[in-house]
Structure 1
Amino acid sequence: MSIFSSFLPSVRESWLLCAGALFMLLPEGALAQGRLDAQYEASLAGIAVGKGSWTIEIGDDTFSAIAQGGTAGLLKAFAGAGGMGGSQGRVVNGALVASGYTVNYNSYKKSEIIRMALGGGGIKETVIEPEPPVDPNRIPVTEAHKKNVYDPMTGSLLRVPGTGELMSPDSCRTSAGIFDGRLRYDLKLDFKRVEMVKAEKGYQGPALVCAIYFTPIAGYIPDRPVIKYLAEARNMEIAFVPIAGTRILIPYRVKIPTPFGLAMLEATSFVTSATPPRVAKTQ
Protein backbone atom coordinates (compact mmCIF):
# COMPACT_ATOMS: atom_id res chain seq x y z
CA MET A 1 0.00 0.00 0.00
CA SER A 2 1.29 3.42 -0.88
CA ILE A 3 1.01 5.52 2.29
CA PHE A 4 0.43 8.54 0.09
CA SER A 5 -2.50 6.91 -1.73
CA SER A 6 -4.33 6.60 1.57
CA PHE A 7 -3.95 10.29 2.28
CA LEU A 8 -4.91 11.98 -0.95
CA PRO A 9 -7.08 9.87 -3.26
CA SER A 10 -7.73 12.70 -5.71
CA VAL A 11 -4.13 12.43 -6.93
CA ARG A 12 -3.67 8.76 -6.07
CA GLU A 13 -1.18 8.00 -8.82
CA SER A 14 1.16 10.68 -7.50
CA TRP A 15 1.45 8.84 -4.23
CA LEU A 16 2.47 5.52 -5.80
CA LEU A 17 6.05 6.63 -5.36
CA CYS A 18 6.00 6.45 -1.57
CA ALA A 19 5.95 2.73 -0.95
CA GLY A 20 6.16 1.55 -4.49
CA ALA A 21 8.89 3.97 -5.38
CA LEU A 22 11.26 2.24 -3.14
CA PHE A 23 13.35 -0.81 -3.69
CA MET A 24 14.66 -3.93 -2.02
CA LEU A 25 18.07 -5.05 -3.24
CA LEU A 26 18.75 -8.76 -3.26
CA PRO A 27 20.59 -9.32 0.03
CA GLU A 28 23.72 -11.27 0.72
CA GLY A 29 24.41 -13.00 4.00
CA ALA A 30 22.42 -12.95 7.22
CA LEU A 31 19.77 -10.34 7.98
CA ALA A 32 19.68 -8.86 11.48
CA GLN A 33 16.43 -8.29 13.35
CA GLY A 34 14.80 -4.94 14.04
CA ARG A 35 11.53 -3.03 14.49
CA LEU A 36 10.20 0.32 13.33
CA ASP A 37 7.25 2.35 14.64
CA ALA A 38 6.88 5.52 12.59
CA GLN A 39 4.35 8.31 12.18
CA TYR A 40 4.18 10.36 8.97
CA GLU A 41 2.54 13.56 7.82
CA ALA A 42 1.62 14.28 4.20
CA SER A 43 1.43 17.83 2.89
CA LEU A 44 0.70 19.59 -0.37
CA ALA A 45 2.07 23.11 -0.94
CA GLY A 46 2.85 23.27 2.76
CA ILE A 47 -0.69 22.37 3.85
CA ALA A 48 -1.18 19.18 5.89
CA VAL A 49 -3.46 16.78 4.01
CA GLY A 50 -2.95 13.47 5.81
CA LYS A 51 -1.36 11.45 8.55
CA GLY A 52 -0.36 7.82 8.79
CA SER A 53 1.73 5.20 10.50
CA TRP A 54 4.10 2.44 9.47
CA THR A 55 5.11 -0.55 11.57
CA ILE A 56 7.77 -2.97 10.39
CA GLU A 57 9.02 -6.07 12.20
CA ILE A 58 11.92 -8.12 10.87
CA GLY A 59 12.57 -11.38 12.68
CA ASP A 60 15.06 -14.14 12.08
CA ASP A 61 12.70 -16.07 9.80
CA THR A 62 9.61 -13.86 9.20
CA PHE A 63 8.81 -10.22 8.50
CA SER A 64 5.75 -7.98 8.36
CA ALA A 65 5.09 -4.40 7.29
CA ILE A 66 1.81 -2.57 7.97
CA ALA A 67 0.84 0.98 6.96
CA GLN A 68 -2.31 2.93 7.59
CA GLY A 69 -3.39 6.50 7.06
CA GLY A 70 -6.12 8.94 6.17
CA THR A 71 -6.90 12.47 5.06
CA ALA A 72 -6.58 15.28 7.59
CA GLY A 73 -7.48 18.92 8.12
CA LEU A 74 -9.72 20.69 5.62
CA LEU A 75 -9.28 17.94 3.05
CA LYS A 76 -10.95 15.46 5.41
CA ALA A 77 -14.16 17.50 5.35
CA PHE A 78 -14.38 17.37 1.55
CA ALA A 79 -12.69 14.10 0.61
CA GLY A 80 -12.50 11.92 3.67
CA ALA A 81 -10.55 8.78 2.91
CA GLY A 82 -8.42 6.23 4.67
CA GLY A 83 -6.75 2.94 4.17
CA MET A 84 -4.67 0.16 5.60
CA GLY A 85 -2.32 -2.23 3.90
CA GLY A 86 0.49 -4.61 4.55
CA SER A 87 2.86 -7.28 3.36
CA GLN A 88 4.22 -10.32 5.12
CA GLY A 89 6.47 -13.24 4.34
CA ARG A 90 9.61 -15.14 5.25
CA VAL A 91 13.26 -14.30 5.66
CA VAL A 92 15.11 -16.84 3.53
CA ASN A 93 18.92 -16.79 3.48
CA GLY A 94 18.76 -13.12 4.37
CA ALA A 95 16.18 -12.22 1.69
CA LEU A 96 12.75 -10.80 2.44
CA VAL A 97 10.40 -13.06 0.47
CA ALA A 98 6.83 -11.79 0.49
CA SER A 99 3.96 -14.26 0.41
CA GLY A 100 0.99 -11.92 0.68
CA TYR A 101 0.00 -8.28 0.17
CA THR A 102 -3.34 -6.65 1.03
CA VAL A 103 -4.65 -3.09 0.88
CA ASN A 104 -8.06 -1.88 2.03
CA TYR A 105 -9.04 1.59 0.76
CA ASN A 106 -12.14 3.53 1.82
CA SER A 107 -13.51 6.92 0.78
CA TYR A 108 -16.85 8.68 0.53
CA LYS A 109 -17.18 7.47 -3.03
CA LYS A 110 -16.00 3.86 -2.84
CA SER A 111 -14.34 1.07 -0.94
CA GLU A 112 -11.88 -1.36 -2.44
CA ILE A 113 -9.76 -4.31 -1.36
CA ILE A 114 -6.74 -5.57 -3.29
CA ARG A 115 -5.18 -8.91 -2.38
CA MET A 116 -2.11 -10.46 -3.96
CA ALA A 117 -0.40 -13.78 -3.41
CA LEU A 118 3.32 -13.86 -4.22
CA GLY A 119 5.81 -16.62 -4.88
CA GLY A 120 8.60 -17.62 -7.19
CA GLY A 121 9.80 -14.05 -7.56
CA GLY A 122 6.51 -12.70 -8.85
CA ILE A 123 2.75 -12.35 -8.48
CA LYS A 124 0.81 -15.61 -8.37
CA GLU A 125 -2.71 -14.26 -7.94
CA THR A 126 -4.47 -10.88 -7.76
CA VAL A 127 -8.01 -10.22 -6.52
CA ILE A 128 -9.73 -6.80 -6.53
CA GLU A 129 -13.07 -6.40 -4.76
CA PRO A 130 -15.31 -5.13 -6.19
CA GLU A 131 -14.00 -6.16 -9.59
CA PRO A 132 -13.20 -3.01 -11.58
CA PRO A 133 -14.80 -2.45 -15.00
CA VAL A 134 -12.73 -3.15 -18.09
CA ASP A 135 -11.38 0.03 -19.69
CA PRO A 136 -10.36 -0.48 -23.35
CA ASN A 137 -7.95 2.46 -23.09
CA ARG A 138 -5.93 0.83 -20.31
CA ILE A 139 -2.76 -1.01 -21.39
CA PRO A 140 -3.37 -4.62 -20.31
CA VAL A 141 -1.18 -6.33 -17.72
CA THR A 142 0.07 -9.71 -18.95
CA GLU A 143 1.40 -12.65 -16.97
CA ALA A 144 4.90 -11.73 -18.14
CA HIS A 145 4.51 -8.33 -16.45
CA LYS A 146 3.94 -10.09 -13.11
CA LYS A 147 7.27 -11.90 -13.09
CA ASN A 148 10.38 -10.58 -11.29
CA VAL A 149 8.44 -7.84 -9.51
CA TYR A 150 7.76 -6.75 -5.93
CA ASP A 151 4.58 -5.67 -4.22
CA PRO A 152 4.69 -1.98 -3.18
CA MET A 153 5.14 -2.69 0.52
CA THR A 154 8.01 -5.18 0.27
CA GLY A 155 9.48 -2.96 -2.42
CA SER A 156 9.67 -0.20 0.20
CA LEU A 157 12.50 -1.96 2.00
CA LEU A 158 15.88 -0.96 0.54
CA ARG A 159 18.31 -3.74 1.40
CA VAL A 160 22.00 -2.83 1.30
CA PRO A 161 24.03 -6.04 0.87
CA GLY A 162 27.50 -6.72 2.22
CA THR A 163 29.17 -5.01 5.16
CA GLY A 164 30.08 -1.65 3.67
CA GLU A 165 28.79 1.84 4.39
CA LEU A 166 24.98 2.03 4.38
CA MET A 167 24.94 5.61 3.12
CA SER A 168 27.16 4.87 0.14
CA PRO A 169 26.14 6.37 -3.23
CA ASP A 170 26.03 2.81 -4.59
CA SER A 171 23.11 2.05 -2.24
CA CYS A 172 20.99 4.39 -4.38
CA ARG A 173 22.04 3.05 -7.74
CA THR A 174 19.41 0.40 -8.34
CA SER A 175 16.08 -0.26 -10.03
CA ALA A 176 13.13 -2.60 -9.65
CA GLY A 177 9.76 -3.57 -11.07
CA ILE A 178 6.62 -3.01 -8.97
CA PHE A 179 3.05 -4.27 -9.32
CA ASP A 180 0.34 -2.84 -7.06
CA GLY A 181 -2.57 -4.95 -8.25
CA ARG A 182 -3.41 -2.63 -11.13
CA LEU A 183 -0.36 -0.74 -12.29
CA ARG A 184 2.92 -2.32 -13.37
CA TYR A 185 5.81 0.15 -13.37
CA ASP A 186 9.58 0.37 -13.11
CA LEU A 187 11.38 2.64 -10.68
CA LYS A 188 14.98 3.70 -10.79
CA LEU A 189 17.00 5.34 -8.04
CA ASP A 190 20.16 7.39 -8.35
CA PHE A 191 22.36 9.07 -5.75
CA LYS A 192 21.84 12.76 -4.92
CA ARG A 193 23.40 13.46 -1.51
CA VAL A 194 23.67 12.54 2.17
CA GLU A 195 22.10 14.98 4.66
CA MET A 196 21.27 15.12 8.36
CA VAL A 197 17.65 14.76 9.49
CA LYS A 198 15.93 14.93 12.87
CA ALA A 199 12.45 13.61 13.63
CA GLU A 200 10.35 15.22 16.36
CA LYS A 201 10.67 11.88 18.14
CA GLY A 202 13.21 9.15 17.60
CA TYR A 203 15.74 9.13 14.78
CA GLN A 204 18.31 11.82 14.20
CA GLY A 205 21.27 11.23 11.95
CA PRO A 206 22.27 10.84 8.30
CA ALA A 207 19.78 10.20 5.50
CA LEU A 208 20.61 8.85 2.06
CA VAL A 209 18.82 10.99 -0.53
CA CYS A 210 18.09 9.37 -3.90
CA ALA A 211 16.46 10.66 -7.06
CA ILE A 212 13.38 8.72 -8.27
CA TYR A 213 12.53 8.01 -11.91
CA PHE A 214 9.15 6.47 -12.80
CA THR A 215 8.42 4.44 -15.95
CA PRO A 216 4.88 3.06 -16.47
CA ILE A 217 4.81 -0.38 -18.09
CA ALA A 218 1.20 -1.63 -18.09
CA GLY A 219 -2.15 -1.24 -16.34
CA TYR A 220 -2.39 2.50 -17.01
CA ILE A 221 -4.24 4.83 -19.39
CA PRO A 222 -1.62 6.58 -21.56
CA ASP A 223 -3.56 9.85 -21.88
CA ARG A 224 -3.93 10.35 -18.12
CA PRO A 225 -2.09 13.60 -17.27
CA VAL A 226 -0.70 12.45 -13.91
CA ILE A 227 0.98 9.42 -15.51
CA LYS A 228 2.60 11.62 -18.14
CA TYR A 229 3.72 14.08 -15.48
CA LEU A 230 5.33 11.42 -13.28
CA ALA A 231 7.03 9.74 -16.23
CA GLU A 232 8.57 13.04 -17.32
CA ALA A 233 9.48 14.31 -13.84
CA ARG A 234 13.20 14.62 -13.10
CA ASN A 235 13.05 16.33 -9.70
CA MET A 236 11.47 13.73 -7.39
CA GLU A 237 13.50 12.45 -4.45
CA ILE A 238 13.37 10.16 -1.44
CA ALA A 239 15.42 10.18 1.76
CA PHE A 240 16.21 6.81 3.41
CA VAL A 241 17.28 6.08 6.99
CA PRO A 242 18.11 2.68 8.56
CA ILE A 243 16.13 0.34 10.79
CA ALA A 244 18.34 -0.24 13.83
CA GLY A 245 20.09 -3.60 13.90
CA THR A 246 19.60 -4.24 10.17
CA ARG A 247 21.00 -3.28 6.79
CA ILE A 248 17.59 -2.13 5.61
CA LEU A 249 16.85 1.51 4.79
CA ILE A 250 13.33 2.90 5.10
CA PRO A 251 11.76 6.03 3.58
CA TYR A 252 11.99 8.98 5.95
CA ARG A 253 10.85 11.65 3.50
CA VAL A 254 9.51 11.74 -0.07
CA LYS A 255 9.27 14.90 -2.20
CA ILE A 256 7.26 15.07 -5.43
CA PRO A 257 6.84 18.47 -7.10
CA THR A 258 3.36 18.77 -8.67
CA PRO A 259 1.47 21.46 -10.61
CA PHE A 260 -0.33 22.20 -7.32
CA GLY A 261 2.83 22.64 -5.25
CA LEU A 262 5.30 20.36 -3.50
CA ALA A 263 3.81 17.06 -2.33
CA MET A 264 5.75 15.69 0.62
CA LEU A 265 5.57 12.80 3.03
CA GLU A 266 7.84 13.11 6.08
CA ALA A 267 8.27 11.20 9.32
CA THR A 268 7.37 13.11 12.47
CA SER A 269 8.19 10.15 14.72
CA PHE A 270 10.68 7.46 13.71
CA VAL A 271 11.37 5.05 16.57
CA THR A 272 13.46 2.05 15.63
CA SER A 273 15.21 -0.59 17.73
CA ALA A 274 17.33 -3.67 17.19
CA THR A 275 15.86 -7.01 18.26
CA PRO A 276 18.15 -9.60 19.82
CA PRO A 277 18.41 -12.73 17.69
CA ARG A 278 16.42 -15.71 18.85
CA VAL A 279 18.52 -18.22 20.76
CA ALA A 280 17.83 -21.84 19.98
CA LYS A 281 16.63 -23.86 22.95
CA THR A 282 18.88 -26.65 24.16
CA GLN A 283 18.04 -29.70 26.18
Structure 2
Amino acid sequence: MIQLRHACLATLAVILSTSVNAAEVNASASYVLTLGGINIAAMTVDLEDDGSRYSLDLSANVAGLGTLVASGTAKATSVGRSSGRNLMADKFGLETRANGESFNVDVSFAGRDVSAFQVQPPIIDNYDRVPLERRHLTGVSDFLSTFVLKGNGLDKSLCQRQARIFTGVERFDIAMSYAGDDEATSPRTGYQGPVVLCTVNYDPISGHFTSSDITTYLAESNRIIIWYAPLLETGYFIPYRVLLGTNMGDLSMVLTKLTQ
Protein backbone atom coordinates (compact mmCIF):
# COMPACT_ATOMS: atom_id res chain seq x y z
CA MET A 1 0.00 0.00 0.00
CA ILE A 2 2.91 2.40 0.76
CA GLN A 3 4.38 1.94 -2.72
CA LEU A 4 0.91 2.33 -4.27
CA ARG A 5 0.49 5.66 -2.42
CA HIS A 6 3.90 6.78 -3.66
CA ALA A 7 2.91 5.83 -7.20
CA CYS A 8 -0.34 7.77 -6.86
CA LEU A 9 1.57 10.85 -5.71
CA ALA A 10 3.96 10.58 -8.64
CA THR A 11 1.13 9.92 -11.09
CA LEU A 12 -0.84 12.85 -9.81
CA ALA A 13 2.28 14.87 -10.12
CA VAL A 14 2.65 13.85 -13.77
CA ILE A 15 -1.09 14.27 -14.45
CA LEU A 16 -1.89 17.80 -13.14
CA SER A 17 -1.11 21.11 -15.18
CA THR A 18 -2.57 24.66 -15.88
CA SER A 19 -1.73 28.38 -16.75
CA VAL A 20 -3.12 31.84 -15.68
CA ASN A 21 -3.59 35.62 -16.12
CA ALA A 22 -4.05 38.28 -13.45
CA ALA A 23 -7.83 38.33 -14.09
CA GLU A 24 -10.15 36.76 -11.50
CA VAL A 25 -10.80 33.08 -12.18
CA ASN A 26 -13.31 30.62 -10.76
CA ALA A 27 -13.43 27.43 -12.82
CA SER A 28 -13.90 23.69 -12.47
CA ALA A 29 -12.60 20.82 -14.62
CA SER A 30 -13.85 17.23 -14.40
CA TYR A 31 -11.91 14.16 -15.57
CA VAL A 32 -12.34 10.42 -15.89
CA LEU A 33 -9.38 8.11 -15.28
CA THR A 34 -9.06 4.72 -16.94
CA LEU A 35 -6.55 1.89 -16.67
CA GLY A 36 -6.40 -0.48 -19.61
CA GLY A 37 -9.66 1.04 -20.91
CA ILE A 38 -11.55 0.41 -17.63
CA ASN A 39 -12.88 3.36 -15.61
CA ILE A 40 -11.17 3.49 -12.21
CA ALA A 41 -11.80 7.04 -10.96
CA ALA A 42 -13.60 10.34 -11.44
CA MET A 43 -11.77 13.55 -10.51
CA THR A 44 -12.66 17.24 -10.23
CA VAL A 45 -10.21 20.15 -9.93
CA ASP A 46 -11.53 23.54 -8.76
CA LEU A 47 -9.41 26.63 -9.37
CA GLU A 48 -9.87 30.11 -7.89
CA ASP A 49 -7.54 33.07 -8.44
CA ASP A 50 -8.21 36.71 -7.51
CA GLY A 51 -5.10 37.95 -9.30
CA SER A 52 -2.81 37.75 -6.27
CA ARG A 53 -3.87 34.60 -4.41
CA TYR A 54 -4.93 31.19 -5.75
CA SER A 55 -6.46 28.01 -4.40
CA LEU A 56 -6.58 24.58 -6.03
CA ASP A 57 -8.86 21.83 -4.74
CA LEU A 58 -8.76 18.32 -6.13
CA SER A 59 -11.23 15.58 -5.20
CA ALA A 60 -11.33 12.05 -6.59
CA ASN A 61 -13.53 9.01 -6.11
CA VAL A 62 -11.68 5.81 -6.95
CA ALA A 63 -13.83 2.84 -7.97
CA GLY A 64 -10.87 0.47 -7.78
CA LEU A 65 -9.76 -2.37 -10.02
CA GLY A 66 -9.42 -5.72 -8.27
CA THR A 67 -6.12 -6.00 -6.42
CA LEU A 68 -4.40 -3.40 -8.63
CA VAL A 69 -6.14 -0.24 -7.37
CA ALA A 70 -7.97 0.07 -4.05
CA SER A 71 -11.34 1.85 -3.98
CA GLY A 72 -11.54 5.00 -1.88
CA THR A 73 -11.27 8.79 -2.01
CA ALA A 74 -8.53 11.36 -2.38
CA LYS A 75 -8.44 15.11 -1.68
CA ALA A 76 -5.60 17.54 -2.31
CA THR A 77 -5.33 21.30 -1.79
CA SER A 78 -2.78 23.96 -2.62
CA VAL A 79 -2.99 27.66 -1.68
CA GLY A 80 -0.55 30.49 -2.23
CA ARG A 81 0.50 33.44 -4.36
CA SER A 82 -0.37 33.84 -8.06
CA SER A 83 1.06 37.27 -8.92
CA GLY A 84 4.40 36.02 -10.29
CA ARG A 85 5.31 34.09 -13.41
CA ASN A 86 4.65 30.81 -11.58
CA LEU A 87 2.27 29.94 -8.77
CA MET A 88 4.02 29.79 -5.39
CA ALA A 89 2.45 27.57 -2.75
CA ASP A 90 2.25 28.51 0.94
CA LYS A 91 0.55 25.27 1.98
CA PHE A 92 -0.20 21.88 0.48
CA GLY A 93 -2.38 19.09 1.89
CA LEU A 94 -3.32 15.57 0.81
CA GLU A 95 -5.78 13.08 2.32
CA THR A 96 -6.52 9.59 1.01
CA ARG A 97 -8.92 6.99 2.39
CA ALA A 98 -8.97 3.36 1.28
CA ASN A 99 -9.76 0.01 2.91
CA GLY A 100 -10.70 1.73 6.15
CA GLU A 101 -7.31 3.45 6.40
CA SER A 102 -6.43 7.14 6.01
CA PHE A 103 -3.20 8.82 4.93
CA ASN A 104 -2.53 12.53 5.44
CA VAL A 105 0.20 14.91 4.30
CA ASP A 106 0.63 18.57 5.28
CA VAL A 107 3.45 20.73 3.90
CA SER A 108 4.23 24.41 4.60
CA PHE A 109 6.49 26.50 2.37
CA ALA A 110 8.50 29.69 2.90
CA GLY A 111 9.03 30.89 -0.62
CA ARG A 112 10.42 27.90 -2.50
CA ASP A 113 11.73 26.17 0.63
CA VAL A 114 9.92 23.65 2.82
CA SER A 115 9.47 25.13 6.30
CA ALA A 116 7.61 22.16 7.85
CA PHE A 117 5.91 18.92 6.86
CA GLN A 118 4.01 16.12 8.57
CA VAL A 119 2.89 12.69 7.37
CA GLN A 120 0.33 10.51 9.20
CA PRO A 121 0.89 7.66 9.64
CA PRO A 122 4.65 8.25 9.38
CA ILE A 123 6.57 6.54 6.57
CA ILE A 124 8.88 3.85 7.91
CA ASP A 125 12.44 4.35 6.72
CA ASN A 126 13.22 0.84 5.54
CA TYR A 127 16.70 -0.04 4.31
CA ASP A 128 15.68 0.55 0.69
CA ARG A 129 14.15 4.00 1.14
CA VAL A 130 16.37 6.78 -0.23
CA PRO A 131 16.82 9.28 2.66
CA LEU A 132 15.35 12.77 2.39
CA GLU A 133 18.07 15.38 2.92
CA ARG A 134 17.63 19.02 3.96
CA ARG A 135 19.20 20.20 0.70
CA HIS A 136 16.45 18.35 -1.18
CA LEU A 137 13.81 20.61 0.41
CA THR A 138 15.00 23.93 -1.03
CA GLY A 139 13.85 25.48 -4.30
CA VAL A 140 10.82 23.19 -4.52
CA SER A 141 7.07 23.31 -5.13
CA ASP A 142 4.14 21.04 -4.38
CA PHE A 143 2.84 18.91 -7.23
CA LEU A 144 -0.45 20.80 -7.70
CA SER A 145 0.85 24.36 -8.02
CA THR A 146 3.92 23.23 -9.95
CA PHE A 147 1.74 22.16 -12.83
CA VAL A 148 -0.37 25.30 -12.90
CA LEU A 149 1.68 26.76 -15.72
CA LYS A 150 1.58 30.39 -16.79
CA GLY A 151 2.20 31.05 -20.48
CA ASN A 152 1.66 33.56 -23.26
CA GLY A 153 -0.51 31.27 -25.38
CA LEU A 154 -1.16 27.76 -26.62
CA ASP A 155 2.30 27.11 -28.05
CA LYS A 156 5.41 25.05 -27.41
CA SER A 157 6.63 27.42 -24.68
CA LEU A 158 4.08 25.76 -22.35
CA CYS A 159 6.14 22.57 -22.54
CA GLN A 160 9.56 24.08 -21.92
CA ARG A 161 9.53 23.58 -18.16
CA GLN A 162 11.51 21.97 -15.38
CA ALA A 163 10.43 21.61 -11.76
CA ARG A 164 11.66 20.30 -8.40
CA ILE A 165 8.72 18.75 -6.53
CA PHE A 166 8.23 17.71 -2.91
CA THR A 167 5.06 15.75 -2.13
CA GLY A 168 5.60 15.47 1.62
CA VAL A 169 6.88 11.93 1.03
CA GLU A 170 9.14 12.08 -2.02
CA ARG A 171 11.40 14.58 -3.81
CA PHE A 172 11.59 14.26 -7.59
CA ASP A 173 12.31 16.38 -10.64
CA ILE A 174 10.36 16.61 -13.86
CA ALA A 175 11.41 17.94 -17.25
CA MET A 176 8.81 18.74 -19.91
CA SER A 177 9.47 18.98 -23.65
CA TYR A 178 7.40 20.06 -26.65
CA ALA A 179 6.18 17.13 -28.78
CA GLY A 180 3.82 18.75 -31.30
CA ASP A 181 0.42 20.30 -32.00
CA ASP A 182 -2.90 18.46 -32.33
CA GLU A 183 -6.66 19.01 -32.48
CA ALA A 184 -9.19 17.72 -29.92
CA THR A 185 -12.30 16.68 -31.84
CA SER A 186 -14.29 14.20 -29.72
CA PRO A 187 -17.78 15.54 -28.88
CA ARG A 188 -17.82 13.35 -25.76
CA THR A 189 -15.10 15.38 -24.07
CA GLY A 190 -15.20 18.78 -22.37
CA TYR A 191 -13.26 20.62 -25.08
CA GLN A 192 -12.89 20.66 -28.85
CA GLY A 193 -10.11 22.68 -30.44
CA PRO A 194 -6.32 23.03 -30.69
CA VAL A 195 -4.06 21.38 -28.11
CA VAL A 196 -0.30 21.19 -27.49
CA LEU A 197 1.47 17.92 -26.68
CA CYS A 198 4.18 17.78 -24.01
CA THR A 199 6.30 14.82 -22.98
CA VAL A 200 7.36 14.44 -19.34
CA ASN A 201 10.50 12.88 -17.87
CA TYR A 202 10.44 11.82 -14.20
CA ASP A 203 13.62 11.72 -12.12
CA PRO A 204 13.31 10.39 -8.51
CA ILE A 205 15.64 12.13 -6.04
CA SER A 206 14.80 10.92 -2.52
CA GLY A 207 12.03 9.56 -0.30
CA HIS A 208 11.25 6.72 -2.72
CA PHE A 209 11.97 3.01 -2.30
CA THR A 210 14.65 1.54 -4.55
CA SER A 211 12.66 -1.71 -4.63
CA SER A 212 9.58 0.05 -6.05
CA ASP A 213 8.84 -1.33 -9.52
CA ILE A 214 6.50 1.60 -10.23
CA THR A 215 9.15 4.22 -9.40
CA THR A 216 11.65 2.42 -11.62
CA TYR A 217 9.09 2.18 -14.43
CA LEU A 218 8.23 5.89 -14.26
CA ALA A 219 11.92 6.85 -14.27
CA GLU A 220 12.60 4.72 -17.35
CA SER A 221 9.38 5.57 -19.22
CA ASN A 222 9.50 7.56 -22.43
CA ARG A 223 5.71 7.49 -22.80
CA ILE A 224 4.31 10.11 -20.44
CA ILE A 225 2.34 12.63 -22.51
CA ILE A 226 0.09 15.59 -21.64
CA TRP A 227 -2.22 17.35 -24.13
CA TYR A 228 -2.83 20.96 -23.01
CA ALA A 229 -5.99 22.96 -23.78
CA PRO A 230 -7.05 26.53 -22.88
CA LEU A 231 -9.30 26.89 -19.84
CA LEU A 232 -12.06 28.85 -21.54
CA GLU A 233 -11.09 32.56 -21.74
CA THR A 234 -9.28 32.71 -18.39
CA GLY A 235 -5.70 32.60 -19.66
CA TYR A 236 -5.14 29.20 -18.05
CA PHE A 237 -4.11 26.04 -19.92
CA ILE A 238 -5.13 22.70 -18.46
CA PRO A 239 -4.67 19.03 -19.37
CA TYR A 240 -7.15 17.88 -21.98
CA ARG A 241 -5.69 14.40 -21.90
CA VAL A 242 -2.88 12.59 -20.08
CA LEU A 243 -1.40 9.26 -21.12
CA LEU A 244 0.97 7.14 -19.09
CA GLY A 245 1.97 3.76 -20.47
CA THR A 246 2.25 1.06 -17.78
CA ASN A 247 2.78 -2.69 -17.75
CA MET A 248 -0.87 -3.00 -16.66
CA GLY A 249 -2.14 -1.04 -19.68
CA ASP A 250 -2.42 2.66 -20.46
CA LEU A 251 -3.31 4.94 -17.55
CA SER A 252 -5.34 7.73 -19.15
CA MET A 253 -7.06 10.88 -17.90
CA VAL A 254 -9.50 12.76 -20.15
CA LEU A 255 -11.31 16.06 -19.61
CA THR A 256 -15.08 15.46 -19.56
CA LYS A 257 -16.53 18.79 -18.37
CA LEU A 258 -15.39 22.39 -18.07
CA THR A 259 -17.30 25.14 -16.26
CA GLN A 260 -16.66 28.71 -15.13
TM-score normalized by the length of structure 1: 0.82
Residue 19 (1) aligns with residue 13 (2)? yes
8 Å CA contact retained: 2:17, 2:238:
no
How much has 1:261 moved relative to structure 2?
0.8
| Cross-structure match for 2:211 | 223
* Unpaired runs of at least 5, structure 2: none
- Partner-residue secondary structure (3-state), 1:171: helix
| Inter-partner Cα distance in structure 1 for 2:88 and 2:5 | 30
Taking every aligned residue pair, what percent have the same amino acid on both sides?
23
Cα deviations by residue, 1:105-145 (Å, 9 ceiling, x for unpaired)? 11105211100011221211111112222223211111111
| Inter-partner Cα distance in structure 2 for 1:268 and 1:168 | 23
| Pick aligned residue for 2:232 from 244, 267, 275 | 244
Cα deviations by residue, 1:42-93 (Å, 9 ceiling, x for unpaired)? 11110111111111111122110000112227659x8321111110112334
| Cross-structure match for 1:196 | 183
| Inter-partner Cα distance in structure 1 for 2:82 and 2:62 | 34
| Pick aligned residue for 1:86 from 52, 67, 77 | 77
* Aligned pairs, number: 258
| Cross-structure match for 2:25 | 34
- Partner-residue secondary structure (3-state), 1:19: helix
Cα deviations by residue, 1:169-224 (Å, 9 ceiling, x for unpaired)? 22212211111011110111111122222564643221111011110011111221
| Cross-structure match for 1:173 | 160
8 Å CA contact retained: 1:21, 1:155:
no
| Cross-structure match for 2:137 | 146
The AA in structure 2 aligned to 1:262 is D
RMSD, aligned CA: 2.7
How much has 1:23 moved relative to structure 2?
6.2
The AA in structure 1 aligned to 2:22 is L
- Partner-residue secondary structure (3-state), 1:230: helix
Q: 1:144 to 1:74 in 2, by over 3 A?
A: closer
Q: Which region of structure 1 is more displaced relative to structure 2, 51-60 or 86-95?
A: 86-95
Residue 97 (1) aligns with residue 84 (2)? no
Q: Which runs of 4+ in 1 moved over 6 A?
A: none
Residue 207 (1) aligns with residue 195 (2)? yes
| Inter-partner Cα distance in structure 2 for 1:47 and 1:266 | 13
| Pick aligned residue for 1:69 from 30, 52, 60 | 60
| Inter-partner Cα distance in structure 2 for 1:15 and 1:113 | 12
| Inter-partner Cα distance in structure 2 for 1:21 and 1:144 | 26
The AA in structure 2 aligned to 1:196 is E
| Inter-partner Cα distance in structure 1 for 2:107 and 2:37 | 35
- Partner-residue secondary structure (3-state), 1:79: coil
8 Å CA contact retained: 1:201, 1:270:
no
Q: 1:202 to 1:264 in 2, by over 3 A?
A: closer
* Unpaired runs of at least 5, structure 1: 274-283
